Structure 1
């Protein structure tokens, strides 16, 4: 192996591995989605209705 081949291989390695990839923020690594679809009937809580039915 000559000095010229070693320099060429080093240049190839430098091109391929010479720079680190861009940094990824932790916020970009997480995807949030609701586990179930939004159901308006389920989320329609009326505290007055609850009090009338069960408390008074």
Structure 2
């Protein structure tokens, strides 16, 4: 192989490499990195507790 053929091969390889890896990927926002899902279904009876209910039931 002579230098001209070697130079053409490396130029083609360099162009292919720049086409594939030449630009950085778009930045990802922090909000898009985390997915939040509830671990279980919400139970309305769990949040319906009234802290003062026991006072009314047992003290009055």
C-alpha root-mean-square deviation of aligned residues, in Å? Answer: 1.6
2:17 is the counterpart of 1:36: no
The verdict on how the C-alpha distance between 1:35 and 1:24 changes in structure 2, with shifts beyond 3 A counting, is same
Corresponding residue to 2:31 among 27, 43, 46 = 27
Give the C-alpha shift of residue 42 in structure 1.
Answer: 1.3
Does residue 9 of the first structure (1) align with residue 13 of the second (2)?
Answer: yes
User: How far did 1:49 drift?
Assistant: 1.5
Runs of 4+ in 1 over 4 A off after TM superposition: none
Which structure is higher in helix share? 1
Give the stretch that moved more between structures: 1-10 or 18-27. Answer: 1-10
Which ranges of structure 2 fall in alignment gaps of 5 or more residues? none
Count, aligned residues: 55
